[in-house]
């Protein structure tokens, strides 16, 4: 910079130089508000629920989260979720939020909801809290709320080939219906 035209070093008298002017201009730029271009996007409280749903690529996941969060707010507040009720939930203290979610989980268990469904609904609520943390309106995590252990479903593999062969051997192949149904072997 000292070799560039217009660069002046500070003299013995301590007079200002062009370098000081540039430095002052840079400092003024750093002090300028940064919301000039993004001001409209930053106005008001964020709609955390809308942001969470917009953040999900899979439409089935989006639909399931919307349904599950609606169920949570309907059961716990007797109202569908709104921006205000979502923010109120996200502004709770960690212990209060965990207690609300545990009470919701207890209601689901008492009403006979399956373990996998309970876990999906808890995942939606945890995702809401996580999005709230990302947006700066929530300071807790719901990781203390544990999901239910999913019980294995019954065996759905069907009938094995040996059993099918035994059933087909039961047909009398000398009759018309026996020829029709027994010819499969």
Check whether 32 has a pLDDT greater than 80. Answer: no
Residue 22: per-residue pLDDT: 66
Round to whole Å and give the CA distance between 90 and 139: 8
Domain ranges for the chain: 48-134
Crossing angle of helices 94-110 and 59-77, rounded to 10°? 100
Check whether 60 has a pLDDT greater than 90. Answer: yes
Residue 165: per-residue pLDDT: 82
Residues with Cβ < 8 Å from 157, sequence gap 6 or more?
none
What is the average per-residue pLDDT within 128-144? 93
pLDDT tens readout for residues 87-129: 999 999 999 999 999 999 999 999 999 999 999 999 999 999 9
The pLDDT confidence band at residue 185, using thresholds 50, 70 and 90, is: very low
Residue 110: per-residue pLDDT: 96
Chain-wide mean pLDDT for the chain? 82
Residue 39 CA: distances (Å) to CA of 3, 33, 36: 41, 10, 6
What is the average per-residue pLDDT within 143-167? 81
């Amino acid at each position: 910079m000292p070799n560039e035209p217009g660069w002046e070093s500070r003299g013995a008298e301590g007079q200002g130089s062009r370098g000081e002017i540039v430095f002052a201009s840079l400092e003024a730029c750093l002090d300028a508000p940064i919301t000039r271009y993004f001001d409209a996007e930053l106005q008001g409280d964020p709609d955390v629920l809308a942001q969470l749903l917009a953040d999900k690529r899979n439409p089935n996941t989006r639909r399931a989260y919307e349904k599950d969060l609606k169920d949570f707010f309907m059961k716990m507040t007797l109202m569908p979720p709104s921006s205000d009720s979502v923010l109120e939930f996200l502004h709770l203290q960690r212990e209060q939020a965990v207690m609300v979610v545990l009470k919701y989980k207890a209601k689901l268990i008492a009403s006979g909801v399956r373990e996998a469904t309970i876990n999906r609904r808890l995942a939606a609520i945890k995702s809401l809290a996580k999005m709230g943390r990302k947006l700066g309106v929530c300071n807790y995590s719901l990781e203390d709320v544990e999901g239910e252990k999913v019980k294995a479903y019954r065996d759905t593999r069907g009938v094995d080939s040996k059993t099918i062969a035994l059933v087909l051997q039961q047909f009398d192949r000398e009759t018309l219906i026996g020829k029709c149904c027994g010819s499969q072997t």
